[in-house]
Structure 1
């Protein structure tokens, strides 16, 4: 059954078609490298803890440097920043390939290169997100972001599948070389884009593009601050399903590695479906985000009660759908509701929140699963997600009521009246 035209409307734009194709190639290469790094470290050390250390090193730079990357994205034109960081990524991936092929006796160089890759992502990530918003008109940005979720899910599935096939043939080094080459697909796509069809966001003067100004904007914008706080809770307690699915497979479900692989596949299919559903919506609203978060929390709570593999997997699919709709809607609102001159820093704050949620949620859920069991962990965290969503809904409703209360009715052209913000009323009187 063909998808409705509205679901694919961003593909009507030449620049977005190039961007989407390059994104699929790049994401596929990235996930091939993820599997290659994990396998290289695990086979050399025999320690899952060592693999976890590499994940921390990958995320740490975003927590420490992400806000400065956002400031850079607001100060400079995004195109050259994206090109430089893509080249840097390619160099790091090629260097990891050389290190892997030389048969390293120590994992220290590999850890160092993983950290370097994280630094490049932290500095260039906000510019990459901002540039992605420039290849489509603002009205089509939610659709483009939803299709981006589909592409990311498809690239993850394709990358992990290809890596599994190629790893015995090429070794981890071959996967890293393929990833290095994939970044040139992004460079080629940018070079082929039509400048006349770009929707550029004007860079901000350096004096107004500081990290402090970005944080100040977030803190003095209550609606944005509430959404970010909710995203932190949802990301830490309502995500990280790789942890809880593994714990359920090894524990109550007695499904073993095969069951964990099956659940991961079901979850991945659900993310693709969620992206398609989000792409088919003309508007991604805060109401949609809150409603989906509440339903996902209910499903998460119920999943801990499922007696067998089939029933548990049947809830993983809709949970994955909800997760993508939440992430896509949140990303769209963060970008569309922020002024252009703050876009890079707001994207950076979003990235820091996402990285923080992963850093907090993974260990916390693992500790809870070990302490109280995976079933009770899913039930407890699911109820926490529902509670956080309801609190956020109440606060946002009050903020909307206060904002409405600040509006006044003023006469315009005799008997016509218009509601305007109170601070604008004196100018109209």
Structure 2
């Protein structure tokens, strides 16, 4: 379950991340609450902030992937983490000083989004360089455990601190938590990294990345499903804040508790993923997308605050299954020199739709009902998962090929060729040793 932690560099990374991510989640809750306070509870304003924060992903994440393929990922991460810490520092000082206005939050959210768009592809593709391909699925699951442990702790702390000392001090505390991951990056032994070959500088590298993804049916379907679910289904920063404040008439601590219960579910899902001995398959990803949509609809229909909190636990577990399955499929099946660009395209699909979905869902919460983002987003996710599965069932082609015996083999090799697999899947490889073993009557 913790095999990736045998690697010193990854132990440093995981320990630094847990500290930094707690602060990140504290800031996310504080930022949402600050926007609601400055805008008198306007859900559209929260949607605009999310759009500005994730909007840079549309034009920077793929370029961030190109940088990750070309240059030292560790140095890129140091630069982006320092940039994000400075954004938190400025926002905290403005808030504590009583000078903060809504446009300040909008501007800083945009700058934070620019740094995050460069950071994400480098961070995702750096995991395999810390642990190697053999331990990658376990490391991805442990990353999710770290992320969601912080997601449990951070919002709960933030909700209490906002009530006691206000949002500004929460931003300033987050600045200090960035030291955890920065120290970890600086202490790593570069000689122990599984460094991937760096891509040469050249024209058309972004187009090459898109062409590679579009040319593979499995990646194309995965990216479309990720875009639809993340754009409309993963809307919890808007929906939970508005639900707590406007529907159940509760404070920031109640919003923090809802975020925590969602994270409890995702942590449970990460624990299961870490125990998995084989990487998740495409059907796991599609099933999780459809099931997540169904449970999100149920969350939106729950009549009481307590029932909403309870239903968020299985919803969170399915969210984690959906995202870790996508990450494993992508990182395990693409060449190392293309991994940064593919992860950049993944982040474009995962976060790039937020500028579209967040304002729309925030507007629906204002004009219809605070529950509308959950119900509508869940329905879109459910249809996306089912639709992607039906598309693959209709378009995939499987054929059987028998290859003549090679030297040293008595029997032919049987392969299944499928458009969803980048390479043939060998299902029968009868070597000399296998033939000798079959002569034993007990075999």
TM-score range, shorter chain: 0.7 to 0.9
**Contact kept in structure 2, 1:29 and 1:159, CA below 8 Å:** yes
Q: Tell me, yes or no, if structure 1 residue 291 matches structure 2 residue 284.
A: no
TM-score by length of 1: 0.84
* Alignment counterpart, residue 333 of structure 1, candidates 329, 335, 339: 329
Q: Quote the residue 1:392 is aligned against.
A: 388
Q: Quote the residue 2:70 is aligned against.
A: 75
SS in 2 for 1:233: helix
* Alignment counterpart, residue 226 of structure 1, candidates 196, 209, 221: 221
Deviations along 1:55-92, whole A, 9 cap, x unmatched? 22211111121111111111112121112222222333
Displacement, 1:339?
Answer: 1.2
Name the CA shift for 1:34/1:137 in 2 (closer, same or farther; >3 Å). Answer: same
SS in 2 for 1:284: coil
| Whole-angstrom CA distance in 2 between matches of 1:163 and 1:37 | 10
Displacement, 1:201?
Answer: 1.6
**Contact kept in structure 2, 1:75 and 1:209, CA below 8 Å:** no
| Whole-angstrom CA distance in 2 between matches of 1:417 and 1:324 | 41
Displacement, 1:325?
Answer: 0.8
| Whole-angstrom CA distance in 2 between matches of 1:162 and 1:297 | 29
* Alignment counterpart, residue 147 of structure 1, candidates 142, 147, 156: 142
After superposition, the CA RMSD in angstroms is 3.3
Q: Quote the residue 2:343 is aligned against.
A: 347
Q: Tell me, yes or no, if structure 1 residue 34 matches structure 2 residue 34.
A: no
**Contact kept in structure 1, 2:269 and 2:316, CA below 8 Å:** yes
SS in 1 for 2:397: helix
Deviations along 1:308-337, whole A, 9 cap, x unmatched? 555554433212111111111111111111
Q: Tell me, yes or no, if structure 1 residue 257 matches structure 2 residue 253.
A: no
Name the CA shift for 1:189/1:279 in 2 (closer, same or farther; >3 Å). Answer: same
Displacement, 1:306?
Answer: 4.9
SS in 1 for 2:413: strand
Q: Tell me, yes or no, if structure 1 residue 114 matches structure 2 residue 109.
A: yes
Q: Quote the residue 1:3 is aligned against.
A: none
Displacement, 1:376?
Answer: 7.9
Displacement, 1:27?
Answer: 0.8
Q: How does 1:191-340 map to 2 (within 5 A)?
A: 191-207=186-202, 210-245=205-240, 255-257=248-250, 263-282=258-277, 283-303=279-299, 306=302, 311-340=307-336
Deviations along 1:181-206, whole A, 9 cap, x unmatched? 32222121122223343222221111
Name the CA shift for 1:365/1:133 in 2 (closer, same or farther; >3 Å). Answer: same
**Contact kept in structure 2, 1:32 and 1:163, CA below 8 Å:** yes
Name the CA shift for 1:52/1:192 in 2 (closer, same or farther; >3 Å). Answer: same
| Whole-angstrom CA distance in 2 between matches of 1:168 and 1:297 | 33
| Whole-angstrom CA distance in 2 between matches of 1:260 and 1:187 | 30
| Whole-angstrom CA distance in 1 between matches of 2:294 and 2:358 | 20
Q: Quote the residue 2:152 is aligned against.
A: 157
| Whole-angstrom CA distance in 1 between matches of 2:83 and 2:185 | 16
| Whole-angstrom CA distance in 2 between matches of 1:375 and 1:86 | 35
SS in 2 for 1:202: coil
Q: Quote the residue 2:437 is aligned against.
A: none
* Alignment counterpart, residue 10 of structure 2, candidates 11, 16, 19: 16
Deviations along 1:240-267, whole A, 9 cap, x unmatched? 245555676689xx64427766544432
* Alignment counterpart, residue 169 of structure 2, candidates 168, 174, 179: 174
Displacement, 1:174?
Answer: 3.2
Q: Quote the residue 1:84 is aligned against.
A: 79
Instruction: Specify which structure has the higher proportion of helix.
Output: 1
Count of residue pairs the alignment pairs up: 415
**Contact kept in structure 2, 1:38 and 1:51, CA below 8 Å:** yes
